[in-house]
Structures are given as C-alpha cells and as structure tokens.
Structure 1
Amino acid sequence: MIKIYHNNRCSKSRCGLEILENSGKEFEIVKYLENTPSEEELIEIINLLNISPIQLVRKNEQIWKDNFKGKELSDSEVIKAMVDNPKLIERPIVINGNKAVIGRPPETIKEII
C-alpha cells in the first residue's frame, strides 16, 4: 500500500496528498508530527530514498539552525535529531512498495504511483 508522510500545514504536502487522492489508489496517511517514525523506520525510509540522512533534513527550520547547524554530526546523530524533532523531516515522503520519493516538487510522486 502507498504511504504518505504528511504535514497538513505544508502546501507541498497538501499538493502531494491531492495527487494521491486523484490517483484513485488506496493509500495511508501518516501524520508524522503526531506519529513520529522510529529510528528504524527513518533508516528504512532513507534507504528506500537512496539518500544520506542529512538530505532528509529541513535545514531552514529554526530548530536546525539553533541546535545543529555547523556541527559535525554522524548519520545516527542526524537520524536521532529528526526523531527528537520531527519538524526537521522533509515532506511529503511517499512510499510505494520498494520505491520512495520526497514530493518536492509534488509531481515527483506520480513517478512511483
């Protein structure tokens, strides 16, 4: 089943959700700010995206700027920062089987559905 990691306050995430709704396919919405992925789940997502953990971080968030910017962090420290501060996780993330994309721009979601 298709899964979207969604934040309703984000316009790109809302656009991504609309693409899924219009696809006619079944999907699950994960409100990741309320239901934060575990470290294991984030590692799985990062592996599906085929990126490094730092590429999943929203570096313009104030939390990042205040606490992490300019520091040398290991991959596990970056993942822990996202688990502790889910606002740092880039959005939307859409997973379909063994494929995943960050929906920026939202049209990239169409590639995996």
Structure 2
Amino acid sequence: MPSEFILYHNNRCSKSRAALSLLEERGIQAKVVRYLDTPPDLATLEELFRKLGLESVRDMMRVKDDLYKELALDNPELDNHALLQAIAEHPALLERPILADADRAAIGRPTENLETLLPSS
C-alpha cells in the first residue's frame, strides 16, 4: 500500500514549490497543508518532531528568521516543548518544506532530502 504523504507547504517559498514540483514529477499525490493558513497544533508538531528524528526542535525552525530573534528563542534554557509551543503560536517559525508519511519526515532543504521518503523510481 503506498504511503500517504503530507507536505507542509508555503507557496511563497521557492524550496517549498520545488518540493511540490518534485512530488508532481514523480506522480506522487500528497495532501498539501498550507501551514500558514492552517497551522499545525502542538500535538501535530510533536509528531512531526518525532518523525524527523531530531534532537533539537531548533533543527526544524527558521532560526535565521527575524521573528525567532524577536521572540528570544535562541535562549538555551528553552526546552523542546517550549520551542514547539512557539511554533504552534507562530507557524512562520516552522522550517519549510516538510514532507511526512506515516512513520517518517524530512525537511526539504535541500530538496534532495525528500528522496529518502519517496519510493524509488
């Protein structure tokens, strides 16, 4: 049975558009979540973090974004839960694009990272 893919997408982002194009080129249907319009809740973000297999939530955040600095999220005392809460409140902090299936996820920077989730062609 083929995997059900979800692409967390921002159409204004070239990397995100490239990820969508990659899926279309490969004939892969994905549920596209425009996460700025429909922000993921905390439970969804926790699941994404788990699927990404990261140690720090910062690795799935736009740490160079002005908002990250304005909210002082570089404070080393903030734990992963606090950082996930910040993304839930400010979805623009979420790195993009992220492709997820039932078990795993990958951040599409570079787009080639997504290949690890896709069936071989």
TMscore range, shorter length: over 0.9
Name the CA shift for 1:70/1:6 in 2 (closer, same or farther; >3 Å): closer
Greater helix share, structure number? 1
Deviation at 1:70, TM superposition (A): 3.7
Q: How far apart in 1 are the matches of 2:85 and 2:48? A: 14
Q: Percent identity?
A: 35
2:106 maps to what in 1? Answer: 101
Deviation at 1:69, TM superposition (A): 4.1
5+ residue gaps, structure 1, are none
Cα RMSD (Å): 1.1
1:92 maps to what in 2? Answer: 97
For residue 58 of structure 2, the aligned residue among 50, 54, 77 is: 54
Q: How far apart in 2 are the matches of 1:59 and 1:47? A: 19
2:44 maps to what in 1? Answer: 41
The answer to whether the 8 Å contact 1:19/1:110 transfers is no
Deviation at 1:57, TM superposition (A): 1.0
SS at match of 2:64: coil
Amino acid in structure 2 at the alignment position of 1:33: L
For residue 23 of structure 1, the aligned residue among 21, 26, 36 is: 26
**Aligned residues, how many?**
113
The answer to whether the 8 Å contact 2:73/2:83 transfers is no
Deviation at 1:97, TM superposition (A): 2.4
Q: How far apart in 2 are the matches of 1:70 and 1:101? A: 23
Stretches (4+) displaced over 4 A:
none
Amino acid in structure 2 at the alignment position of 1:61: D
Q: Deviations over 1:43-70 (max 9, x none)?
A: 0000000012121111111111111244
